[in-house]
Amino acid sequence: MSPRAPRSSPRVALRTAFSGLAILYLGLLAFTTYFPLSHVESLTTTAEASGLEPAWVASVIRCESRFREDVVSVAGAIGLMQIMPSTGDWIAEQLGDEIPSEARLFDPETNLAYGCWYLAHLGKRYEERHVVLWAYNAGPSRAEAWQEGEGAPFPETAAYVERIKRFLPIYRFAIRFPWIYRIAPSLPL
């Protein structure tokens, strides 16, 4: 006689299903917390209008501010895309906007518009994406020097470019399925 397999009770099946759902939810929560995403519609529209891939812009924002619109860096860069006030003034001038106050740079719409415009501007100036990122992170004059072989990028800048490369496929997924962030909202870190 062969041994009979133990019968599963409805309680065990329910507990197993609940445990699986809990683990899935915690995984989604970890994903959305480590890879935050907000302002998806505005980000997508603004990036595409500037000729940029939305996931690339999202990866830059992840590295710059972790999608915190109220953050100010030690150097004084403001908002989602960490725009320096002097750069914001210059961008506003180029766009024919009124010179923004620092408070306007905290506005996500303005910050995204200026940051995307600036990335697109740098993209026209430097064809290679990594050079664009060098310029965005460390400034155009340093990027040009590094491009011409005068020294190497700062370790922080090199790591910045690598993080954006790693985050790009993740944000391609996240932007394609933004509903994940409604189910499991990002937790502040």
What amino acid is encoded at 4 in this protein? R
Q: Tell me the mean pLDDT in the region 56-64.
A: 98
Helices 54-64 and 155-176 cross at an angle (nearest 10°) of 130
What is the sign, positive or negative, of the torsion defined by CA atoms of 90, 94, 95, 96? Answer: positive
Question: How many beta carbons lie within 10 A of that of residue 39, not counting itself?
Answer: 18
pLDDT score of 98 more than 90: no
Q: What is the pLDDT of residues 114-132, one digit of tens each?
A: 999 999 999 999 989 999 9
Nearest Cα residue to 157 out of 125, 127, 135: 135
3-state secondary structure of 52: coil
pLDDT over 90 percentage in the chain: 81
Question: CA angle 173-128-38, nearest 5°?
Answer: 30
Question: Residue 113: what pLDDT?
Answer: 97
Q: Is 109 a catalytic residue?
A: no
Report residue 146 CA to chain centroid gap.
25
CATH architecture of 39-176: Orthogonal Bundle (1.10)
Residue, of 11 and 161, whose pLDDT is higher = 161
Q: Which of 64, 127, 128, 150 is catalytic?
A: 64
pLDDT score of 100 more than 80: no
| Residues forming a β-bridge with 78 | 72, 83
Q: How confident is the model at residue 4 (pLDDT cuts 50, 70, 90)?
A: low
Mean pLDDT over the full length of the chain: 93
pLDDT score of 87 more than 60: yes
What amino acid is encoded at 82 in this protein? Q
Distance separating alpha carbons of residues 54 and 25, to the nearest angstrom: 26
Which residues neighbour 156 within 8 Å (Cβ) at sequence distance 6 or greater?
Answer: 137
pLDDT score of 169 more than 60: yes
Q: Tell me the mean pLDDT in the region 128-154.
A: 96
Residue, of 105 and 16, whose pLDDT is higher = 105
Q: What is the pTM of this model?
A: 0.90
Give the domain ranges of the chain.
Answer: 39-176
Distance separating alpha carbons of residues 64 and 186, to the nearest angstrom: 17
Question: Residue 187: what pLDDT?
Answer: 85
Nearest Cα residue to 118 out of 146, 82, 76, 69: 82
